[in-house]
Structure 1
């Protein structure tokens, strides 16, 4: 349908109370220039009755409640109200200036109901995603990449609403962004403080490897691709079947993540039909490394900076194409098993000469990048109208083939794969392979 969204207001939301000034140093992971991009997502809330015992909640609109709560959360998370500033060597030495200028916030209204647009369940969405995300109508002296948090709340005629979130990957990883959004939701429901208090901890909790290679300036130019969008839901039954086959083959248990990653990597490899079956194909998935990098005495619950490790799997294309699912699942699990050792080597600066820094994502060839959004906390964020029916991450990096793992819209179960990883000439084959993966 034709876009029905009208933006009503745009402004910066500043912290609701005084916050510290000065500057903060970023961690070695934060400063990686490959993370200097904006992560976008849509959080869909179906109309429900309020369940918070607070008079203002029943009479206020979601946009007003979220806006007020955002100002309160920015007191606790005051670095997110500042600006990212390049250092003397450019992006690789960026820091956080505590300006208190605030987060960009947009309010909007849609003249249709969520049912009219199928609950934004199907792609392409019935409303363009950019209409539901905060626009970049910023003051002339403000660059979007320098603003840590931008939000838009679009209210629908049915009483439901969508929170469009754009956040800087430089300041938070997925778990950190989810933690912040839950802090906003806690205040929206009337809690006096967030349930999880924030910890900056960049200099204490994330190592700065002595031999880490530093790239100055922007990432190199990369070949852009016209990756096509495909959403596939894997049922609980299809995942359980794969788990059973893996158990029968190896005597080991595997997770839904292992199965989903293995299926999408194998489907893409088969769809590409590489003429040289000995060519190497690579899978990269982002693993939370808080339990590896941080010592128990650090008490790092609440750390919201980047703390992940890019785990990789590499094999010959022909090997991946002909393998059964259990074999590919085993490759994924082996990479997970190596995580602790690889993170420890990286943290100690023990990369050997010629070995690639694992965080140099922008300098790699084109592997399939996979990220799991199911455990980041976004599905638990409740602003007073209940938790979201679903969260749709939006990947739009033209040189990075991606597959994002999310929960399907409630009440459905299983695993949803949101992919942008093949071009049009491979799309038919990839679609067929993914259909077979659903069985």
Structure 2
């Protein structure tokens, strides 16, 4: 069956209690050092709801308008300063966000939610920016609600990363859901960079993010939708016990498994002693003291340094890899204090973005799993993993009934996919 998605004409959803404000008189909010490296890069998330609600598109659109009263930055526009530094601001113009209502000519079960045909459909389930990156004049948020014939629906959200990270977008969607369900205001009051003074993003993290966003060319890596079984995660956590001083986390166990299985699959016979860097994104809200409702960017990028060799990762004890990941996480506070980066040798840029390296970002506990517009939380949350410019994966995506941690990746050449899956199967 050919799936057809029919979209309405896009419209602007504005805050419900204010009119558009000319940019000349709008309140200008200077973005933080966390926002700048990600400015004008677009990102999409997909939230699959398998339980029907009444008129999902209209319900979400009305609640979104009310939510924008509280998330005023998201209804604004980016402004580039005229000074030499080209400082970025967000003008709180209230111009609104773009919204599209759509319908699919089939039931959700017809597109097989956990199989490749559904992944191929993702491009039709969100609004995309006209160009590869966001323009100054573009809305900061694009939203599409696609209703299937069975009443299930998919919410596609695309945004300019300058205005929010994943946690921030989850806060917005939580608020939209609460307002859709009849609450008077969001349960978590939103905060922005205008309300809090954050420390500067560490230079290494800023440099990595800028390189990832603007300077790397896409490569043709294979797409994999995999699950690290919960029994594997539990076994690693049990083996470590209290050795780390605090229980091993799901993220640490999953990342260690992915790192080792991938290294075994790609380890060259001729030079297995090259470094195999692990780079991962980390929420810095606790470290920098940001409020619970902070929705602007507050993520940093951490590198395990010095990096082990690919042989050490492939042949080492999985518990040792978990210890390396935990140790790197514990160094985050020191990097914000200006310590640590110069005392530990870091890999060169070519190594950091080469095929031996692995970049991991986790969506565990961002808050997407709690979004509820009246019919319950999502059956699955996904991202659009296109041809990536470096080996990367999004781990621990919310996914009901998977029995483990769902991972979407493009971090392997086609010829290494089978070997990786075989190594992953050994952990079961």
Tell me, yes or no, if structure 1 residue 279 matches structure 2 residue 274. Answer: yes
Aligned to 1:323: 316
Deviations 1:225-274, CA, capped at 9 Å, x for gaps: 10111122122212111222333987873122111000111112222223
SS in 1 for 2:401: coil
**C-alpha spacing 1:67/1:341, structure 2 compared with 1 (3 Å):** same
Q: RMSD of the alignment, in Å?
A: 3.3
Aligned to 1:410: 400
Structure 1 runs (4+) greater than 6 angstroms displaced: 89-92, 209-219, 248-252, 353-356, 360-363
Deviations 1:178-222, CA, capped at 9 Å, x for gaps: 101111111111111011111113573311379899989996642
The separation in 1 between residues aligned to 2:350 and 2:273, in whole angstroms, is 24
| Deviation of the 1:312 alpha carbon | 1.6
Deviations 1:347-384, CA, capped at 9 Å, x for gaps: xxx9659998x9x9999524311111120111111111
- For the 8 Å contact 1:145–1:168, the answer to whether it is kept is no
| Deviation of the 1:99 alpha carbon | 2.1
**Which residue of 412, 416, 420 corresponds with 1:422?**
412
**C-alpha spacing 1:257/1:210, structure 2 compared with 1 (3 Å):** closer
Greater CA drift, 331-340 or 405-414: 405-414
**Which residue of 353, 370, 373 corresponds with 1:365?**
353
SS in 1 for 2:235: helix
Greater CA drift, 407-416 or 19-28: 407-416
Aligned positions of 1:19-418 closer than 5 A: 21-32=26-37, 34-48=38-52, 60-88=54-82, 93-118=87-112, 120-125=113-118, 128-136=121-129, 143=135, 146-202=138-194, 204-208=196-200, 221-247=215-241, 253-274=247-268, 275-294=270-289, 300-313=291-304, 314-345=307-338, 352=342, 365-366=353-354, 367-396=357-386, 398-407=388-397, 409-418=399-408
The separation in 1 between residues aligned to 2:317 and 2:150, in whole angstroms, is 47
Q: TM-score, normalised by structure 2?
A: 0.87
SS in 2 for 1:383: coil
Aligned to 2:6: 6
- For the 8 Å contact 1:233–1:408, the answer to whether it is kept is no
The separation in 1 between residues aligned to 2:155 and 2:418, in whole angstroms, is 33
Greater CA drift, 8-17 or 201-210: 201-210
The separation in 1 between residues aligned to 2:204 and 2:414, in whole angstroms, is 38
Aligned to 1:56: none
SS in 2 for 1:315: coil
The separation in 2 between residues aligned to 1:36 and 1:229, in whole angstroms, is 25
Q: TM-score, normalised by structure 1?
A: 0.85
| Deviation of the 1:7 alpha carbon | 0.7
- For the 8 Å contact 1:284–1:312, the answer to whether it is kept is yes
| Deviation of the 1:128 alpha carbon | 1.6
**C-alpha spacing 1:249/1:67, structure 2 compared with 1 (3 Å):** closer
- For the 8 Å contact 2:77–2:138, the answer to whether it is kept is yes
Greater CA drift, 269-278 or 74-83: 269-278
- For the 8 Å contact 1:14–1:101, the answer to whether it is kept is yes
**C-alpha spacing 1:124/1:85, structure 2 compared with 1 (3 Å):** farther
The separation in 2 between residues aligned to 1:14 and 1:98, in whole angstroms, is 12
- For the 8 Å contact 1:179–1:304, the answer to whether it is kept is yes
**C-alpha spacing 1:134/1:91, structure 2 compared with 1 (3 Å):** farther
